[in-house]
Structure 1
Amino acid sequence: DRGLQRRDDETEIAETVATTLEPTRHKNDAADAEAITEAALRPNMSFVVPKSAESQALTMMMRTRDQLLEQRTATVNALRGHLAEFGLIAPVGLKNVERLRELIDDHPDLPELVVTMANLHFNRIDQLSEEIDTLTGRMKNHCADSPEARRLQTMPGIGPVAAMAIEAFAPDMKFFKNGRDFAAWLGLVPKQHSTGGKTRLGQTSKMGQKDIRRALIIGAMSCIAAAARRGKRCHPWLQDKLDRKPKMVAAVALANRMARQIWAMITKEQGYQPKQEVAA
């Protein structure tokens, strides 16, 4: 009798648990509403800041320009691949497209269909370049009229594209407690594999906004390249990184530093100060 009673009690408990979990087990509106309410009540929950229509429009222009750049690169690579089959080879890069035109003119024995298809690619490249230049001009005009974009461009390595990426994709800096939080949001901090009281740091997390992260790393590489072209040593902090680490590692470290300085510049509404310390 005791065994039967125990089994009946366990069955009743199992049915109660199943009934309790049933609303959250399946995908429906009631489960979604409950999950949203549960998440909203948690003190450490991070929420996405909604964008304004103006910021979304800037985002659309940035993404459209990136798409056109990818299409132009793909078209140039396709043209180089097709002409390589006929022995017409030119170095990689958009600047060498004119070299391909000259090679076609220097080989009048090419089939007429090859020339026709090549001209189709050339026309597409010219059209994409014109559209890219138009969008780039609009971006420069916007950055010239925007006080925040002009302030950001006072920092070395930040041009119109990077300034507009920050303005379009970054939320209000007041939502970040400090510059480190902004750098972590961009994915410019190392991954942690720490256990047993031992701290192990790996590669950058890349768990953040890739457009701003990419723009900052490119800007950091341009600063390093500019110093190398002038034959000068970089800032002592950066030069120490270059002496001990690969160039890309030093560029990521500089991008992290730039992100912290950008947070300080925007929150304090001041221009770039070369001697200022990195934001805490």
Structure 2
Amino acid sequence: MRRGGDWKRGTVERPVGAPVFDPTDERGEETERATSASPRLSSTLLQRGKSDAADAEAICEAASRPKLRKNFVPIKSPEQQGAQMLARVRNQFIGRRTQLANSIRGYAAEFSFTAPRGLSRLQQLLIDIRDDTTVPNLAKELVEALAIELARVHDQIAKLDKKLMQLHRSNEMSRRLAAIPGVGPIGATLLSIKVVDARGFKSARNFAAWLGLTPKNHSTAGKNRLGVITRAGDGMLRTVLVAGATAVIADMRRRGSRPWSWLKDMIARKPPKLVAIALANKLARIAWKLMVSGERYRPASAVPMPTPT
């Protein structure tokens, strides 16, 4: 709590929607930070009932456990909060665009019109519907309304992409991360926005686990059983890394470029999706190393390359 213009050091529970800013007093001087904990931590430690006293006891219990401290909400500046909002709003518009495109395809299929995959193929589908005399005028008007909304959302995404690229060019860390194969400008910008403090992770392995790129463990009686990935952490970051890894693998197959030695062996033995997850895990570890060390990506030292034959 705040007394005499200063923050008392302590732990507070952060409700959904509450800003997590670095607190400063009215003079603009930096004050003591209060640790912000996720409500999930205290809710798992409640014994019975719900009261302020029970909540406070559970929060103190969560703050005293070292293994739970890694789940504390990191302190963000207002600029970081705004940048994260940009990433989330962009993702919402992308979901809306996909929804509109699928709606157009579904309604067109009711009149026996189909189109191949890809947003670029929808334009010809719309032209075919407009020119067909068997389609009722009402259906044409409704499809046209969906097409107008789709174009508006697409333009909005393009504007947000420009803002995202501006953030990328102005952020030195983002420019370094973009050099990693499969990460690119968008992935690098999202990493620099969403990972507030990479030093909060003890190792690259912990960072990959935080992104949900490690398998679930179902081991018992001395038998190790690894299942699907945990899908923990930020789904947007995980999706971008997996998509980038998939593109890297596809590019290797298309161009016939030399793959990394471990990746070449895995491609020959494992399913494609599993290989993409493994490569995304590797890319996340490389990104963590660059964020912590401040170094630039060096392909020869990042991942061993096979010796040419």
Q: TM-score, normalised by structure 1?
A: 0.86
Measured against aligned partners, the alpha-carbon deviations of 1:169-227 in whole angstroms (never above 9, x if no partner) come to: 22301111111111111111111122222322222221222221111111111111111
If asked which structure has higher relative contact order (CA below 8 Å, sep 6+), I would say 1
Give the whole-Å Cα distance in 1 for the aligned partners of 2:188 and 2:170: 12
User: Does 1:31 pair with 2:29?
Assistant: no
Aligned to 2:30: none
Aligned counterpart in structure 2 of residue 201 of structure 1, from 226, 248, 254: 226
Question: Offset of 1:277 from its aligned partner?
Answer: 4.5
Moved more, 228-237 or 146-155: 228-237
3-state DSSP of counterpart to 2:243: helix
Give the whole-Å Cα distance in 1 for the aligned partners of 2:62 and 2:139: 61
Is the Cα contact below 8 Å between 2:130 and 2:140 reproduced in 1? no
Aligned to 2:138: 113
Identical counterparts, % of pairs: 39
Question: Offset of 1:249 from its aligned partner?
Answer: 0.8
User: Does 1:231 pair with 2:256?
Assistant: yes
Measured against aligned partners, the alpha-carbon deviations of 1:82-110 in whole angstroms (never above 9, x if no partner) come to: 22222222223211111112202431343
1:46-125 mapped onto 2 (5 Å cutoff): 46=69, 47-125=72-150
Give the whole-Å Cα distance in 2 for the aligned partners of 1:83 and 1:44: 53
Point out 4+ residue stretches in structure 1 off by more than 4 angstroms.
none
Give the whole-Å Cα distance in 2 for the aligned partners of 1:151 and 1:40: 35
User: Does 1:253 pair with 2:278?
Assistant: yes
Give the whole-Å Cα distance in 2 for the aligned partners of 1:126 and 1:109: 25
Aligned counterpart in structure 2 of residue 266 of structure 1, from 291, 296, 303: 291
Give the whole-Å Cα distance in 2 for the aligned partners of 1:247 and 1:186: 20
Gaps of 5+ in 2: 1-45, 304-309
1:71-220 mapped onto 2 (5 Å cutoff): 71-220=96-245
Aligned to 1:6: none
Is the Cα contact below 8 Å between 1:194 and 1:200 reproduced in 2? yes
Q: 1:44 to 1:73 in 2, by over 3 A?
A: closer
Aligned to 1:17: none
Question: Offset of 1:120 from its aligned partner?
Answer: 0.7
Give the whole-Å Cα distance in 1 for the aligned partners of 2:151 and 2:172: 33
- Alignment root-mean-square deviation, CA: 1.7
Counting helix residues as a fraction of each chain, which structure ranks higher? Answer: 1
Amino acid at match of 1:40: A
Q: 1:28 to 1:142 in 2, by over 3 A?
A: same
Question: Offset of 1:24 from its aligned partner?
Answer: 5.0
Moved more, 168-177 or 124-133: 168-177
Amino acid at match of 2:68: M
3-state DSSP of counterpart to 1:164: helix
Q: TM-score, normalised by structure 2?
A: 0.78
3-state DSSP of counterpart to 1:198: coil
Moved more, 187-196 or 260-269: 187-196
Measured against aligned partners, the alpha-carbon deviations of 1:106-142 in whole angstroms (never above 9, x if no partner) come to: 3134322122112111111110110010101111111
Q: 1:155 to 1:108 in 2, by over 3 A?
A: same
3-state DSSP of counterpart to 1:202: strand
Is the Cα contact below 8 Å between 1:55 and 1:167 reproduced in 2? no
3-state DSSP of counterpart to 2:227: strand
Moved more, 46-55 or 179-188: 46-55
Number of residue pairs matched? 256
